[in-house]
Amino acid sequence: MIETCDSPGLLPIQSAITTMLKQVTAVLDSEQIELENAFGRVLAVDVVSNINVPPHDNSAMDGYAMRCEDLIDNNQLQLVGTALAGAPFKHKVLPGQCIRIMTGAVIPQGADSVVMQENTETKDGFVMFKQIPEFGNSVRKAGEDIQQGKVVVTKGTKLTPAYLALMASVGMAEISVIRNIKVGLIATGDELMPLGQPLAYGAIYESNRYALTALLKTFPVVVFDFGIVKDNKDDLKAVFEQAGSHCDLVLSCGGVSVGDADYVKEILDELGSINFWKVAIKPGKPFAFGQLRGQSNGQLSNACFCGLPGNPVSSYVTFEQLVSPILQKLSGQTYLPTPHFVAKAACLIDKRPGRADYQRGIFYRDEQGELLVKPNGKQGSGIMSSIAHANCYMVLEQDAEDVQQGEAVNIQPF
Ligand code: AMP
Ligand code: MG
């Protein structure tokens, strides 16, 4: 039995995440795309290499390649040719011989080691070696990075720049990835004004969508921006219905705190199902999670719905801590909690037990090289500069009390 706002107490953040993840089904549809467009996408199948990387033993240095044992009682070998990257030496290197070799050039038959040119001298068609190499010196072995037939990158991996290079190195021109997740974004509130107009009395500029859109760009998504919707049941219902029909995930911000929540609740009850939670997280206690049933191409679709609190810091933090796991699961990734690091409190950090607190902080090293962290100014849920000028969250556990100067603090760098 999970705790909701109807139950006494608050829902611990980890229970909220576990409950949501159980209700979210990963998107399985995949598409074939060119590797050059695959940055940030999620691999739909394991990628297996058809080749060894590197394909051949090759030189790690500019120098001379020879048979190592030829230099045991002798430091001079006859120079018989050159191997360049892309222009191999096509003959066998015979006993007593060596060749000039450049980085990346194939080690020719007969040779097994390379001595870098700084440790040699050439004279009259001979090379003098000032260093006796070990067997295999400065040789990069075929398949030392990737072996033919092995899985290079596993299904469910979000593709980083390094993964792209890895797949290019095995010749994958096209790959199969999960289709982009369709996310609908809605800001609600009568006071919200679009940019580009003078502010009316009592109004504020709508700002959450700018942060949320940018945060969403770090996931494999397409964003459908439904703009600002007034606190009015008919307008909201129409937009929720449309978003539910088109999207895998619908995010709204605003209108989920007590009092306001009624419209969102009424509408979601009509269009799907909804839980209003008081999550034990600060900032961001009110949070709604549910399903929106929409009509898509004549078929009933089921979109996840997350109602974020409207306060700018709350919407930002709840996106990062609560929505991000959902997006990972929807897009076929394995949910990986963000790693924490430990720093020392540079001063007293105020904390009341009851909710996990994601205070915005600045971490730095002092003159002794010790990692310290301090709160970044005022921590109110409307104070967006607390995030903008910070470089980490100070994650203070639900039951924790004030942190004294010098005590350990978990931090999550941005
Ligand atoms: P609500 O969650 O609708 O009660 O809103 C809480 C606070 O956040 C109020 O001060 C709103 O004006 C503000 N707010 C709500 N939505 C936004 C938004 N999209 N951009 C900036 N501030 C907002
Ligand atoms: Mg509101």
Q: Does any ligand 1 atom lie closer than 6 A to the CB of residue 207?
A: yes
Rounded to whole angstroms, the Cα distance separating 61 from 114 reads 7
**Rounded distance, CA 141 to CA 312, Å?**
54
Tell me the ligand closest to 254's alpha carbon. 1
Q: How far is the CA of 189 from the centre of ligand 1 (A)?
A: 7
CA distances from 50 to 35, 53, 152, 165, 327 (A): 16, 10, 10, 16, 32
Distance 346 CA to ligand 2 centre (A): 37
Q: How far is the CA of 266 from the centre of ligand 2 (A)?
A: 15
Q: State the closest ligand 1 atom to the C-alpha of 188, by its place in the atom list counted from 1.
A: 16
Q: So what's the pLDDT on residue 213?
A: 98
- For residue 160, give Cα distances in angstroms to 11, 22, 47, 165, 211: 34, 27, 15, 9, 22
Q: Is 412 exposed, middle or buried (0-12, 13-18, 19+ CB in 10 A)?
A: middle
Q: Ligand 1 pocket, 255 CB below 6 A?
A: yes
Tokens of 211: 């942060």
Q: List the residue whose alpha carbon is closest to atom 10 of ligand 1.
A: 311
Is the CB of residue 264 below 6 angstroms from any atom belonging to ligand 1? no
pTM of the model: 0.91
Dist CA 244 CA 239 (whole Å): 8
The protein residues having their C-beta less than 5 angstroms from ligand 2 (an ion) are: 189, 254-255, 310
Q: Closest Cα partner for 14 from 2, 26, 27?
A: 2
- CB contact set of 324 (below 8 Å; sequence gap of 6+): 219
Mind listing the pLDDT tens digit of every residue in the chain (414 residues)? 444 433 457 899 999 999 999 999 999 999 999 999 999 999 999 999 999 999 999 999 999 999 999 999 999 999 999 999 999 999 999 999 999 999 999 999 999 999 999 999 999 999 999 989 999 999 999 999 999 999 999 999 999 999 999 999 999 999 999 999 999 999 999 999 999 999 999 999 999 999 999 999 999 999 999 999 999 889 999 999 999 999 999 999 998 877 655 688 788 888 998 887 889 999 988 899 999 987 666 666 789 999 999 999 999 999 999 999 999 999 999 888 889 999 999 999 999 999 999 999 999 999 999 999 999 999 999 999 999 999 999 999 999 999 999 999 999 999
206 lines ligand 1 (CB under 6 A): yes
Which residue carries 């089921």 as its tokens? 302
Distance 12 CA to ligand 2 centre (A): 25
